[in-house]
Structure 1
Amino acid sequence: MNATNTPSHQQPEWRDTVTLNSVLKDLSVATPLVFAAECDRLRGHLGEVARGNAFLLQGGDCAETFAGVTADSIRAKLETLLQMALVLTYAAAMPVVKVGRMAGQYAKPRSSPVESRDGVTLPAYRGDAVNGAGFTAAARTPDPERLRTMYEKSAVTLNLVRAFAEGGGADLRQAHAWNQGFVRMSPSGFRYEVLAREIDRALSFMDVCGVDAREMHRTEIFTSHEGLLLDYEAALTRPDPPTGRTYATSGHLLWLGERTRQLDGPHLEFFSRIANPVAVKLGPSATPDEVIGYAEALDPDREPGRLTFVVRMGASRVRDLLPALVEKTLAEGLEVGWVCDPMHGNTFTAPDGYKTRTLDTVFDEVCGFFEVHRSLGTHPGGIHVELTGDDVTECVGADVAVDQLVERYETACDPRLNRSQSLSLAFLVAEMFRGSVSDQRGGA
């Protein structure tokens, strides 16, 4: 499945095709980053999400950077996910499936192929997998060697994720240790500390009773990214001899973005051939007929866990637009996961020129998402969030004012929630599961 010559949306204009073909040839025989059995396990977990028996927590950087692949940075993101998952598990009383936007989220679609500054026009920055963020002709020229670096950095990240998840970093007895730094002294950090003490008491009780709590010492953390660069994805696609199925081995879960979800497009055609669990982002223009079209193309066998819909409608539109989509799947008897992305529909430009989001609108879209599902009697299956474990000032709210964005605005593309803001969101979702948000909204 070589997509090199396939016309498609949002693909780089690789000028050095000789190097491109050489890199793709090497990637086609490289060791898989993930394995079929891992993807199958995730598909099984997402099947429980689709059935209403589990909740998906998906989060990480808007766009990973090569320079950001450090042990400290990755650990901070994983600890943020684990803190959020602990809050959600306790509130929802159901398993939380943890999926990072990491180990592959190095490419981004853009609204324009070019960027202009002071009369100079250059190719847009499409993520470290394609070109550099610096505004020079050299930096912005797409470089195929970056695909090789993307693979190498993804491998490093996956190794760190697996070591953290399996090697004791995810032990529930470490729950207090995850609550460090600036977040510990925040309102959400104080609330989390209370919960961690309750977990400690429960674990001590289990010890006294002689309960074998080995599963409390490890967890599963899967990886995901937008399957944007078809050259790269095709080169890392492998057959699984025991099953005869074909898997994209670049990540456990791939999603189709809002700009590449055309029903007759090559991205959807590629996704239809792989056995990984897949997701489709649905913006405000998505129609009920399109939703059924995605199900027919991507989930013809109607297997719960194969297909997840991630809605990004915007806080002002989710209550009006989402019901028709969900109702259409109900009428067709589809079992799919429904997940809320409260980030992408709520971006605006601050007076100083920084792209940002307010915590209030992020919260409002999540509330609207839950309200729609509650009214329809369906399961709000998860949240998909751009976040970081660092003390950044990219989104407004929880002690970050608009005029403070400049202080630590570090994202390579879109604004992310910092760790304290992410934890506040987890407590909001917890309140939604309990049926009341008034107290949390007032204290956020």
Structure 2
Amino acid sequence: MNWTKKSWRNYPIKQQPVYPDEQELNQILNRLEKLPPLVFAGEVRNLQKALTRVSRGEAFLLQGGDCAESFENFGANNIRDMFKMLLQMAIVLTFAGGCPVVKIGRIAGQFAKPRSSDFEELNGVKLPSYRGDIINGFEFDEKARIANPQRMLEAYYQSATTLNLLRGFARGGLADLHEVHRWNLDFLKKNELHKQYIDISEKISQALAFMEACGINTNNTPSLREVAIYTSHEALLLPYEEALTRVDSLSDEIYDCSAHMLWIGERTRALNEAHVHFLSGIKNPMGVKVGPRVSASEIVALSRALNPSNEEGRLNIIIRMGADIIAQRLPEIFKELKKEGLNLIYSIDPMHGNTVKAGNYKTREFDKIMQEVRYFFEIARAEGIYPGGVHLEMTGQDVTECTGGASNITEESLKKRYETQCDPRLNADQALELAFLIADLVKKAKK
């Protein structure tokens, strides 16, 4: 009852930068408040309708994208390749898994990153940690690491451009199912995955030819040529989220118009702190990431705080425990939650709990990633829970950041194209391979 978009400021808060010039910060926030929304309330409501099908076990959630978007790497080709990657994975999950797919990108706003320490040290020099391009610079330089509120404007305009491109790709012909053969990324043509994908493409083309003979075509059936792709990011930098929170003129409800879906991370999900309070007052679908120390009672309390009306399609519990721990912790949690009658979506983030060091590089082993996904599906089925989605850090580029998979990236080959500014991502090869493996698990879950 006492919620306003500013009331989070009365609560304890973690993972926030300290801006040296508060007057400049307030000027930037005032400007952001007057700029147009990045997404619209109607789009957000459409997403919740789609996620309602996921919560009922009628669809599957594919959420993926960059660990952290970069101002420097921003460009139409990278956005296009991420779009194509999501389409490819969705096609595999839909066709091979026999399930409609809700597609949400970690894109058009994923600029802020939580850090385990406020400071980094290199060669005896200690500087503030890099917290994402929306806050400070990646370069290990004293000036670059100062929190700069001007970066919020850059993030806004880059997000607006990204959304413009995504909407164009989604409705302008690139998503046409007749173009399914062209969605392949060039470097995928070198391996066995290409053959699997081409096989699916040919079957889809045959089905489209049959449908066209029956009078069903792209002219009278828009769903054959258009897709819905939604955006999401971690709602970490609350001044930015506050500035983009608006009252919908049709419903008088409050939406955070920086993205269609927001989530809270493992480090900021404390029940009586600012991030949970802020998200409790907006109407967007949202997620909460939970690690190996979470209890069922904590998830119940978070659900009651964030989704007090127990709406379908509103709250996604994103599990990130690690392949070596999930089998010990998750069964009991699912047993307890099953008794509560809560309308929750459960999805798996198999990335964060499987991060290891390989020399000077952070990496993730593909086999561990797949193992955690497999355990998630098996445990969910055993406990009568629908395994509703997957949450991945991935890229449409041919990077070498996670070891293993069909592309056989070794620790030695990590240095070839290790380009992430934060955490290691699956490349397009590995993401597509994972999609084929998940498709089989989805098919079993639907039976």
Answer yes or no: is 1:395 the counterpart of 2:399.
no
Query: SS at 1:355's partner residue?
Result: strand
Distance 1:38 1:211 in 2: 27
Query: SS at 2:254's partner residue?
Result: strand
Offset, 1:171: 0.9
TM-score by structure 2 length? Answer: 0.95
Distance 1:5 1:115 in 2: 29
Q: Residues 286 and 316 of structure 2 are in contact (CA less than 8 Å); yes or no, is this contact kept in structure 1?
A: yes
Offset, 1:433: 2.7
**2:419 pairs with 394, 404, 410, which one?**
410
Q: Residues 61 and 102 of structure 2 are in contact (CA less than 8 Å); yes or no, is this contact kept in structure 1?
A: yes
Tell me the equivalent position of 1:122.
127
**2:302 pairs with 294, 300, 309, which one?**
294
Answer yes or no: is 1:13 the counterpart of 2:18.
yes
Query: SS at 1:176's partner residue?
Result: helix
Deviations 1:181-238 (A, max 9, x none): 1112222222111111111111111111111443110000000000000000001000
Query: SS at 1:322's partner residue?
Result: helix
Q: Residues 193 and 433 of structure 2 are in contact (CA less than 8 Å); yes or no, is this contact kept in structure 1?
A: yes
Offset, 1:155: 0.4
Q: Where does structure 1 differ by over 6 angstroms across 4 or more consecutive aligned residues?
A: none
Answer yes or no: is 1:429 the counterpart of 2:434.
no
The residue type equivalent to 2:382 in the other structure is S
**2:251 pairs with 234, 243, 255, which one?**
243
Give the CA RMSD over aligned residues. Answer: 1.2
Answer yes or no: is 1:183 the counterpart of 2:188.
yes
**1:43 pairs with 43, 48, 52, which one?**
48
Tell me the equivalent position of 1:420.
429
Tell me the equivalent position of 2:95.
90
Tell me the equivalent position of 1:313.
321
Which one is further off, 330-339 or 270-279? 330-339
Distance 1:362 1:27 in 2: 39
Distance 1:5 1:335 in 2: 30
The residue type equivalent to 1:89 in the other structure is T
Distance 2:279 2:170 in 1: 28
Offset, 1:67: 1.8
Deviations 1:87-107 (A, max 9, x none): 000123221000000000000
TM-score by structure 1 length? Answer: 0.96
Distance 1:434 1:50 in 2: 16
Tell me the equivalent position of 1:277.
285
Equivalent positions of 1:188-267 (< 5 A) are: 188-212=193-217, 213-267=221-275
The residue type equivalent to 2:306 in the other structure is L
Offset, 1:435: 4.1
Q: Residues 4 and 230 of structure 1 are in contact (CA less than 8 Å); yes or no, is this contact kept in structure 2?
A: no
Q: Residues 387 and 418 of structure 1 are in contact (CA less than 8 Å); yes or no, is this contact kept in structure 2?
A: yes
Deviations 1:305-360 (A, max 9, x none): 11010000101111221122222222111121000000000000102x10000110
Distance 1:415 1:45 in 2: 30
Tell me the equivalent position of 1:439.
none
Distance 2:441 2:112 in 1: 33
Offset, 1:5: 7.2
Q: Residues 4 and 231 of structure 1 are in contact (CA less than 8 Å); yes or no, is this contact kept in structure 2?
A: no
Offset, 1:17: 1.0
The residue type equivalent to 2:264 in the other structure is L
Deviations 1:237-271 (A, max 9, x none): 00113212100000000000010000111100000
Tell me the equivalent position of 1:70.
75
Q: Residues 338 and 385 of structure 2 are in contact (CA less than 8 Å); yes or no, is this contact kept in structure 1?
A: no
Offset, 1:7: 4.1
Distance 2:53 2:37 in 1: 27
Distance 1:39 1:123 in 2: 36
CA pair 7-23 structure 1, distance change in 2 beyond 3 A = farther
Distance 1:6 1:266 in 2: 5
Distance 1:10 1:280 in 2: 16
Query: SS at 2:154's partner residue?
Result: helix
Q: Residues 81 and 185 of structure 2 are in contact (CA less than 8 Å); yes or no, is this contact kept in structure 1?
A: no
Answer yes or no: is 1:303 the counterpart of 2:340.
no
Q: Residues 60 and 77 of structure 1 are in contact (CA less than 8 Å); yes or no, is this contact kept in structure 2?
A: yes
The residue type equivalent to 1:251 in the other structure is A
Tell me the equivalent position of 2:136.
131
Offset, 1:110: 0.1
Query: SS at 1:47's partner residue?
Result: helix
The aligned length equals 435
Answer yes or no: is 1:376 the counterpart of 2:383.
yes
Query: SS at 1:68's partner residue?
Result: coil
Q: Residues 189 and 423 of structure 1 are in contact (CA less than 8 Å); yes or no, is this contact kept in structure 2?
A: no
Distance 1:186 1:417 in 2: 16
Offset, 1:4: 5.9
Q: Residues 178 and 205 of structure 2 are in contact (CA less than 8 Å); yes or no, is this contact kept in structure 1?
A: yes
Query: SS at 2:266's partner residue?
Result: coil
Distance 2:312 2:442 in 1: 22
Tell me the equivalent position of 1:359.
366
Query: SS at 1:377's partner residue?
Result: coil
Which one is further off, 272-281 or 188-197? 188-197
Unmatched runs of 5 consecutive residues or more in structure 2:
none
Which one is further off, 335-344 or 323-332? 323-332
